[in-house]
Amino acid sequence: MEAYLQAHCRPHIVSSQYSPPKPRLRLADRLQVFWSGGIRFSLNPTAAHKGAAGPKATRKDYVTAFGQVVTRFNSKDSSDKVLSLVPELLVADFESLRSELWLWDSASNSAHLAHSAGVEAEKQRQNAIFGKGAIGRVLEARQPLESKALNSFPGPDPEFASRTGLHTISVYPLMVRGQLIGVLANYTKESPDPELLSWWLLYSEICSVAVQEAINSAESRKTITQLSLLFEATRLLNSTLDLAELLELILKLARTELKADRGSVFLADHKTKELWSIVASGLEHEEIRIPVGRGVAGTVAQTGEIINVEDAYSLPYFDSSYDKKFGYTTRSLLCLPIRHFDGQIVGVIQLLNKCGSSKFTSDDVDFLNKLSGHMAMALEKARLHREIVEKQRLEKEMALARNIQRSLLPEAPPVVPGYELAVLNEPCFEVGGDYYDFLNLGPQTLLLVIADVEGKGVSSALIMSNLQATLRALVMHLHSLEVLALSLNEMIYNDTKSEKYLSIFLGLVDTRRGGLHYINAGHVPPILINGETGAYKLLEEGGTVVGLFPHTEYNRGSATLAPGDVLICCTDGILEAMNAKEDEYGNERLAECVARHRTKPAQAIVDAVQAEVNEFSRSGTHIDDKVLMIVKVVKAGVLEAASSKKIN
């Protein structure tokens, strides 16, 4: 600014005490000369209007006023008021009846009215369009337009002149380093004299620097404020891992900063391709699920584009049912994707009805965009925390379920004189659908049970527990294996409606005579190994699986158990164990393994089979529950304990 004064102003001697120019002074020192009375400035003819006469008397002391303007613009106390001071000082000290400061917006290719002073008059438009009217022409030409009649311009200018009595306009572009930052417009009733126009021109050029500095200062303060808000928002976002609380917090931050009336935060569920919300500010807290692609939020989640409109009802995909449901009227709407730093959309934030404005601004969008990555990270951490907590809860419940299920199975095989019994039970999950049991039905009668519920996990475990309770209730009242199997089928079928079924082997052992009566209801055929020869046979007599069809009949099979014989009962987890070539372990390998170890105790046989199956399936991928029951006949004997009725 000091350089400008030196280039465009020249001193005139008004006193015999004038001395040659001294070295260049600071602007503050130079301004002291204004009110010293020794020097007064007039416009350099090369920068003023050509043909203007030399210095002449003026109605006001423009030099003093101009010096005061420079002082006001450079005052720290006025740094926040420079933009409003620009038109105010023109009206107060430079004889403009109305003055307007318009700021240029390159994005919209137009200027908006920032401040005005003087004659109060409502402008028809708060924006000046490039090339339209007096303001628009100066925006286009970027050259001053002085002392022009408003009636000479089309559009609203003539009407404005008629309404206010201000018929003459002078417009000056505000340029800094060749860039347009705005225009300064002065209105008068008559054409101003050339000297006043010269001062307006000088004033506009001084204002260019002052306005630019004010804009830069405002932007700096805005940036600092926004960074402070972002820092505080980030701190708050990292203050909780509770997902519901975090969603409330995000919405509160967004609504407070953007001055929105209501809003919602939606999380993206990529598995179900839905958006879901557990918070809706101003509405009742309820879960809302929206398919991706439906409504405004769904469209943003699908396209990743920002939607910012003044009238939500102008959008063809806006769903007005929520307005009708809650008696609300949505006007302005801003919907923006919440993106992780890697670009993935993790949610959507939607704000409604900006308070005090008809539309959310570009600054609002910019703030949310800057906050988006931090919101996404906080949401991701909260989501992972929620999953961990949920996983821990499920693990705790599954551990409890495992203990309950194990309590339903025998802790150890019973001690039966003349027999050795051993069992292996390996569920592939915490709980499973494999079941085995030993039921003493009399002094010399033992019921062997082994079953496999279709499927794995909790649902199969529930059917298994139901089977255990049902079976133990039935054996107290039924007198034959056929009726027992038929009753089991009817009860399981009625409970599961064919959605679940099971295979089961029921083996009734006469420990005194060494007889075995059995029914195989679709189960893996048990293998009976001859103790002397090692030959084996499969026990297949019975019928179809239990619970799949109603009114199913079953047939009884029988076999003889001699000393040294080994009965193998197992589930398909043993036989279907696969190696790397996807070959199954199968009946033959199982029979051969037991035959090789048939002289060993029952528990040793179980250990040998387990080791061989594990070695065989080491590189395989098939995983299933495994139950293996070994019954070895040592010699004829009687049961040590009996408390139930015998089944024939």
Whether residue 9 is found in the same domain as residue 53 = yes
Whether residue 138 is found in the same domain as residue 208 = yes
Whether residue 521 is found in the same domain as residue 600 = yes
176 domain residue, yes or no: yes
536 or 250, higher pLDDT: 536
Name residues whose C-beta falls within 8 Å of residue 46's C-beta, 6 or more positions apart in sequence.
none
Whether residue 441 is found in the same domain as residue 509 = yes
Whether residue 174 is found in the same domain as residue 202 = yes
Task: Kindly report, residue by residue over 132-168, the tens digit of the pLDDT.
Answer: 888 889 988 999 999 999 888 888 888 888 888 899 9
What H or E segment, with its residue span, contains residue 515?
strand 515-521
Name residues whose C-beta falls within 8 Å of residue 3's C-beta, 6 or more positions apart in sequence.
none
Q: What is the pLDDT of residue 78?
A: 59
Helices (H), 499-585: 572-575
Q: Which two tokens stand for residue 90?
A: 């023109």
- Cα–Cα nearest to 547, from 470, 617, 456: 470
Average pLDDT over residues 242-259: 78
Q: What is the CATH number of the domain that holds 273?
A: 3.30.450.40
Whether residue 105 is found in the same domain as residue 137 = yes
Q: Which of 327-331, 394-398, 610-614 has the lowest mean pLDDT?
A: 394-398
439 domain residue, yes or no: yes
Whether residue 585 is found in the same domain as residue 438 = yes
Q: What is the pLDDT of residue 27?
A: 36
- Render 341-401 in DSSP notation, one character per residue: TTS-EEEEEEEEEETTSSS--HHHHHHHHHHHHHHHHHHHHHHHHHHHHHHHHHHHHHHHH
Whether residue 552 is found in the same domain as residue 420 = yes
350 domain residue, yes or no: yes
Domain count, the chain: 3
Other Cβ atoms less than 10 A from the Cβ of 507: the count is 24
- 320-to-266, 293, 312, 360, 407 alpha-carbon distances in Å: 18, 16, 9, 20, 56
Whether residue 263 is found in the same domain as residue 157 = no
Q: What letters, b where the CB count within 10 A reaches 16 and e where it falls short, cover 128-165?
A: bbeebbbbbbbbeeeebbbbbebeebeeebbebbeebe
Domain boundary among 156, 190, 220: 220
Task: Kindly report, residue by residue over 364-382, the tens digit of the pLDDT.
Answer: 888 888 777 777 777 777 7
Q: Which domain holds residue 460?
A: 409-633
Whether residue 293 is found in the same domain as residue 187 = no
Q: What is the pLDDT of residue 16?
A: 33
Whether residue 210 is found in the same domain as residue 339 = no
Whether residue 593 is found in the same domain as residue 498 = yes
41 domain residue, yes or no: yes
